[in-house]
Amino acid sequence: MKLCMIGTGYVGLVSGTCFADIGNQVYCVDKDTDKIKKLNSGISPIYEPGLNELIKKNSSAKRLVFTTDLKKAVSLSDIIFICVGTPNKKGSLKVDLSYVYKCTKEILSHAKAKKIIVTKSTVPVGTGDEIEKILRKKKKLFTVISNPEFLREGDAIRDFRYPDRIVVGSNEKKELVSMKKLYLPLINKGAKFFTTTRRGAELIKYASNAFLATKITFINELANLCEKTNINIEDISLGMGLDSRIGSRFLRAGPAYGGSCFPKDTKGLVSVAEKSKENLSLVKSVIKSNQNRVYLLTKRIHKILGKNLKNKRISFLGVTFKPNTDDMRDSTSLFMIPYLIKKGAIISYYDPSGKKKEFNKLKNCNYTKSIKENCSSADLVVILTEWDEFKSIDFKKIIKKNNFKIYDLRNLYTAEDMKRNRIKYFSIGRPETN
């Protein structure tokens, strides 16, 4: 099939590349000329394991084309996927749909033959209806379908190839046949093809993300309780997770949830509900609890190092919201690091996905190129992201100071090991051993 992906971010680029890999002709369009230039020279603008190789393979087979020419891509395609960003409006719970509506208008002006328009972006209930209104001048040409994406950054290729389910929402039964045909290679490998109304599909995406965010927040709050009651949160997670009704995933205590989806989608869902005069009080408290968690964990650094942080050297291992991605959106580090610098601390950070532009303007925030360089003169090492290479560090060997401390927000190490090595070690939701 001939497909056009509008937006070559985490979703458009990965799904476009994977669609090409299962034999489709894919035109990936972005208005960002630098991104397209990079892609045309075989370099992925995002960090996603395995993606570079897949891009090269499918580009050289000419199944995958990168372009800024939307007009041409639209005219050559049967199905057009909208994969642009849907951030929150600044300082509001509401979703900014301007990118979605702008590219819809562009599709309208370029389309001359029948097209299926698919929203892969996460969009509030009723967005498909609004898209239809924008397209009404040529309404016979278009069918608007919702096909939300569930891939996770860091595991995106695997998630695309082996999804638990493919959700497609359409008010027209006929076009579902084309969508099923497109996804047949994945359905044949066991993916469930679930169809519903367009509004239903739009809500499934928000509801799923809000539910997972609730699970994380629940276990994070229990971790606070465990710290006060001398219980290990990991026992609680395991003991609960063994119940098949609960399941063990998204039940590991750690920092506040971040990334490009959960923070904005929980807020987006609340704003959708408010529009319908419904009060999603549970999701509202999840949002609040998650925001509080960032403060709570930052305050704990004072407990570890004392009130006065002037000239204290704090080294961050990982600054992204999760491993195997370069995505910094809503990472806890974006609050923690500027706060600590304001209090006089000197920050260094190492992240396997590289230097972060978000910290470029901060004084006393230095990017280092290795774990050793990052930690050697630390008073405190903060393990923020569970990249594999942080899991077996010999801290005694690489840190020069005698009385350094470790604050492990991912519980990568055991308190017993640290005690044996006489390292002052603090983690999440475990009995205090120092």
Quick one: which segment of 24-32, 171-179, 345-353, 364-372 binds ligand NAD (CB under 6 A)? 24-32
Decide if residue 160 touches ligand NAD (CB under 6 A).
no
Which DSSP helix (H) or strand (E) runs through 165?
strand 165-169
Please name the residues in contact with 327: beta carbons below 8 A apart, sequence gap of 6 or more: 10, 46, 153, 259, 260, 320, 321
Look at residues 55, 12, 58 and name the one whose alpha carbon lies nearest to residue 32: 12
Collapsed DSSP state (helix, strand, coil) of residue 25: strand
Compare residues 216 and 371 and give the one whose CB is closer to ligand NAD: 216
Quick one: which segment of 147-155, 171-179, 345-353, 388-396 binds ligand NAD (CB under 6 A)? 147-155
Decide if residue 8 touches ligand NAD (CB under 6 A).
yes
Cβ-proximal residue to ligand NAD, closest one: 9
Q: How far apart are CA 29 and CA 24, in angstroms?
A: 15
* Count of CA atoms in the C-beta half-sphere (13 A) of 207: 8
Residue 369 and residue 350 in contact, taking contact as beta carbons nearer than 8 Å: yes
Please state the length of the chain. Answer: 434
Q: Using CB under 6 A, which of 64, 107, 142, 149 touches ligand NAD? A: 149
Of residues 260-279, those binding ligand NAD (CB under 6 A): 260-261
Quick one: which segment of 23-31, 247-255, 364-372, 425-433 binds ligand NAD (CB under 6 A)? 23-31
Residue 261: active-site member: yes
Torsions phi, psi of 178, nearest 5?
Answer: -65, -40
Which amino acid appears at position 204 of this protein? I
Q: One symbol per residue from 92 to 131: x for binding ligand NAD (CB under 6 A), - otherwise; what is it?
A: -------x--xx-----------------xx---------
Of residues 231-260, those binding ligand NAD (CB under 6 A): 260
Compare residues 121 and 298 and give the one whose CB is closer to ligand NAD: 121
Q: Which of 4, 28, 226, 261 is catalytic?
A: 261
Compare residues 32 and 78 and give the one whose CB is closer to ligand NAD: 32
Using CB under 6 A, count the residues that bind ligand NAD.
26
Compare residues 109 and 197 and give the one whose CB is closer to ligand NAD: 109
Q: Using CB under 6 A, which of 31, 71, 110, 138 touches ligand NAD? A: 31
Please name the residues in contact with 189: beta carbons below 8 A apart, sequence gap of 6 or more: 161, 162
Q: Where are the alpha helices (DSSP H) in 306-353?
A: 333-342
Residue 307 and residue 314 in contact, taking contact as beta carbons nearer than 8 Å: no
Q: How far apart are CA 182 and CA 23, in angstroms?
A: 10
Decide if residue 10 touches ligand NAD (CB under 6 A).
yes
Q: How far is the CB of 153 from ligand NAD (least distance, A)?
A: 4
Quick one: which segment of 25-33, 55-63, 303-311, 337-345 binds ligand NAD (CB under 6 A)? 25-33
Return the ∠ at Cα 44 (arms to 38 and 50), rounded to 5°. Answer: 155
Q: How far apart are CA 411 and CA 413, in angstroms?
A: 6
Decide if residue 167 touches ligand NAD (CB under 6 A).
no
Q: How far apart are CA 232 and CA 241, in angstroms?
A: 14
Q: Using CB under 6 A, which of 3, 4, 6, 340 touches ligand NAD? A: 6
Beta bridge partners of 26: 3, 64
Residues involved in catalysis? 261
Which residues here bind ligand NAD, judged by CB under 6 A? Answer: 6-12, 29-32, 35, 83-86, 99, 102-103, 121-122, 149, 151, 153, 260-261
